[in-house]
Amino acid sequence: LTSELYEAVKDKNWVLPVRNHRSFPEGLWNFSKSGQYLGADGGGGVGYGPAAAVGAALAYREQGKFPVAIMGDGDFQMGSGAIWTAVHYKIPVLIAINNNNSWGNDEFHQRNIAKKRGRPVENAWIGQRMAEPATDYAAMVRSYGGWAEGPISNPSDLSRAFKEAVKQLEEGNVAVVDVRTML
């Protein structure tokens, strides 16, 4: 996800306002200018990403910046109302959802606690997985009036999806790509 997204935006005047804790763009993206990365939420909190991405996109809108954000599905779900705001006020932003169908940070924590207490780690997912039914984030974004693709499960489909998302952003639209990943 992170590598394919960078390939799609590397020649743009991009800024990464937010990224989730498991996307690791620092090792894959060339941060060559001041202000290209605005930072993470600072505590693993969910709900920060969408509003931070839209806020940064608004702040940079008149400067010709290309706002691109990477966030987890829990983060996106908690703050998805910001997408409606971006569409309504015509604030272009590109968001890639790192979708593992889980409150992943909590699920990892549950596994660690289970090990420490001698309990089965197989139960760590209870109350943490966001599946059955899985949320259709692309449909959610489209219902707000934005452009969306996904869920994408095949890595060979990422390049095409991100290129289309870039095109949508260049046309002034909100673009969201939902990518299925694993814990």
pLDDT tens profile 37-64: 777 655 566 778 899 999 999 999 999 8
Select from 93, 56, 50 the least CA-distant residue to 73. 50
Sheet holding 174-180, edge to edge: 14-15, 66-72, 93-99, 174-180, 147-152
| SS3 state of residue 67 | strand
Fold held by 2-102+134-180? Rossmann fold (3.40.50)
Global confidence as pTM: 0.84
pLDDT (tens digit, 9 = 90+) per residue, 86-121?
999 999 999 999 888 765 566 565 667 767 888 777
Q: Residues 6 or more apart from 17 whose CB is under 8 A from it?
A: 38, 52, 53, 55, 56, 57, 67, 68, 69
Give residue 34's identity as a one-letter amino acid code. Answer: S
Check residues 156 and 23 and name the one with the higher pLDDT: 156
Distance CA 67, CA 58 (A): 9
Q: Where are the domains of the chain?
A: 2-102+134-180
